[in-house]
Structure 1
Amino acid sequence: MGKAERERLNQSLSGHLNTIHETLQVFDQTPASSLDKLTWDVVVKMGDQVSKQATIAGMLWTGETPEAKAVEENMATYFNTLQGLLLLSHGNMVGAGPTLASAIHSSIKQVVECSFKLMMETVSSFAGSRNKDLKPLVPQLVGAVWEACTALKKTPASNITAIGRAMTQVAVSVKDVLREMEELKPVSSNQTEEASNDDASHAETRLGDNDSLSDDLGNDLSPEEMEVAQSAIGVVSETVVLIKELIRTITGLLKQEKPEDIGNFVDTLEKLLKLCQEIGVQIDELGACLYPPQEFPAMKAALEKFSSAIDKVWTEIESLTSSSEAAFQACNDLKRSLKQMEATLVAVVLVI
């Protein structure tokens, strides 16, 4: 291939990339609420077209090195289709809250990133020395585009779905912390006797010879520490129940007779999600503090933030017309568990 053809391909690629970057700037902006909202199915169908163009790009390399004209034509069609995907996705974000917008951005930009890699690698191959290495690489790049476009079908199509999924992720994270807490165990009577009989030098030798032993001892709690851990487990268990009730409440909104009214609740649901995420952070902090030596001041601070967040959750639930008694009961049960843990911390500190 001549130098002029390579330069023309590179110039063409540069122009297409600049166009997509400009379109991305539009995509990153919040669309006017006056625009008609498109359905996500339209975006998915356009994603299928991007997959089709990626397949065609890959087929160009199944035989001999393709002609520059064929690559250039495929590249123009590919980027036009990709630009269409961006514009349709932007139209779909009319009325989208932060959570839904984030999910859409993540999915679409993954398609764009994979597309850039495929087109840039295809053009760079015409430098000459990389043709032999490109053939096995192109199917991988095409496959990456396929996966990114397929993922569009799993992208939430509404605020309710997006927020519900995000809240489910919080619930999964909280369950993981709960599982770790439940693995904590009290120190055995044999270990207590050994600790009292062994002198300091003997203990240092044993710990120095086996690092894993120190890890095992890190999970063994004194009776007082175990009491704190049990109260924390109660708090986290009640948190899981509350988040489940919130997810059930959110799901109930999808069954409303007037779906257009759901938009009135988006701000409240976004606030509930943010509060649950904040609670998740405090649970992580609480879990980390349970390992000996337990950090009582940090636990107390986490519980205070925890309690404040629950009060705000209650307020937001009250603003939902579909709020259930079960959600309010879950808030009450969690507040009670928090108070019990606070009392346990006070009692243990006095004993120590």
Structure 2
Amino acid sequence: MSIPSKERLNRLLIVQAQSINDTFKLLDAPAAASMGKTDWSEVMKMANEISNQATMCALLSSGSSLEQLEDFIGSYCNLLLGLVLLCHGSTVGAGPTLRASIRDFAKPVIDHSLSLLHEALSSYGLRKERPLMPTLAGKVSTSCTRLQGSPSTDSAAIVRALAQVGTSMKDVLRELCEEEEEGEGGEPVKWAIEVGAAAVKVVKEGMRFVGGGTVAAVEVMEGVLEKLQAVGVQVDELGASAIPPLEPEEMEENMAEILLLAAAVEDELKGGGSGGSADGLFRAVGDLVGLLRRLLQEAGVGKG
């Protein structure tokens, strides 16, 4: 076996990195139903092994031969390929939100790991310590921990996505309340606060519905998420329209659109046969619908 050169190892790492990134594209599409579904515990084990290897990498680069470094890089890259394939296998039967979540949590593990390996190779043979190595190793470990704790079921992934919608709505409400405290905006701001608060309640009930052991199909949960994400966008635009300079026509359009989306959530639940598990969500949506109809009526009267 010929003694490896640093340049040859660098070319090898580039090829390995390209192979890993190409394989990662598998996560852009759902795994075939004919594949055996990978248990999430296997993904967690592999993430733990990669975290351990990242710590070793930070130590190895300063006191090893090029042959040892070559073996280590090859072994580490095989672990990364294994992680990608395990993540792909875990998406068998998964809905789009869970698939996107797995992809998003796995990507930093791959990216930080490849950066760590490139840094290990570039720093080989240097007398001066490279402070970036332990930093990158720490980023890999943190990314692995986040992947291990990420949602592994459709319901958990959808609840997490709904929580993000709720957080965004609360940010809008906070800004509107500050405007109201300063005496700005008047009636339009009060309307926007009412609608925003009612929408937040709908999202909370949506989280309870999805995360509370519902028997609803994944398609129903995904449908509820999609519509509530759209409500979140409209609440944000409603808040912007309510703050001076006022845009009353846009406010009415936003409220009308939220009304349509709320009705669509009701249709989604009725069509999905969710039964009693959706009672709280039905009530919250009904309250939002009633509020919007009243406000739109008042807006129409005000015009007259």
Say yes or no: TM over 0.5.
yes
The aligned counterpart of 1:168 is 163
Cα distance, 1:21 vs structure 2: 2.7
Higher gyration radius (CA): 1
| Matched ranges for 1:1-352 at <5 A | 5-61=5-61, 63-64=62-63, 66-126=64-124, 131-132=126-127, 135-185=130-180, 220-221=183-184, 225-253=185-213, 265-318=217-270, 319=272, 320-350=274-304
RMSD over aligned CA atoms reads: 2.0
Alpha-carbon distance in 1 for matches of 2:14, 2:196: 53
Change (3 A) 1:105 1:32: same
Alpha-carbon distance in 2 for matches of 1:89, 1:23: 11
CA contact (8 A) 1:282 1:306 kept: yes
Task: Name the aligned partner's letter for residue 31 of structure 1.
Answer: A
CA contact (8 A) 1:184 1:220 kept: yes
CA contact (8 A) 2:234 2:254 kept: yes
Alpha-carbon distance in 2 for matches of 1:235, 1:21: 44
Task: Name the aligned partner's letter for residue 240 of structure 1.
Answer: V
The aligned counterpart of 1:201 is none
Task: Name the aligned partner's letter for residue 159 of structure 1.
Answer: D
Alpha-carbon distance in 2 for matches of 1:19, 1:73: 17
Q: Percent identity?
A: 34
Cα distance, 1:78 vs structure 2: 0.5
Alpha-carbon distance in 2 for matches of 1:111, 1:133: 27
TM-score by length of 2: 0.92
Cα distance, 1:143 vs structure 2: 0.8
User: What are the Cα deviations for residues 319-343 of structure 1, in whole angstroms up to 9, with x where unaligned?
Assistant: 2234433222212211111122213
Change (3 A) 1:30 1:52: same
Structure 1 gaps, min length 5: 187-218, 255-261
CA contact (8 A) 2:109 2:140 kept: yes
Cα distance, 1:135 vs structure 2: 2.5
Alpha-carbon distance in 1 for matches of 2:68, 2:187: 72
User: What are the Cα deviations for residues 213-260 of structure 1, in whole angstroms up to 9, with x where unaligned?
Assistant: xxxxxx543xxx512222222211111111111111112226xxxxxx
Change (3 A) 1:172 1:26: closer
Cα distance, 1:132 vs structure 2: 4.8
Q: SS where residue 135 of structure 1 aligns? A: coil
Structure 2 gaps, min length 5: none
User: What are the Cα deviations for residues 275-333 of structure 1, in whole angstroms up to 9, with x where unaligned?
Assistant: 00100000001100111221011111111111110110001122223443322221221
Task: Name the aligned partner's letter for residue 177 of structure 1.
Answer: V
Cα distance, 1:30 vs structure 2: 2.1
| Greater Cα shift, 264-273 or 158-167 | 264-273
CA contact (8 A) 1:24 1:86 kept: yes
Alpha-carbon distance in 2 for matches of 1:133, 1:283: 54
Change (3 A) 1:174 1:50: same
User: What is the aligned length?
Assistant: 300
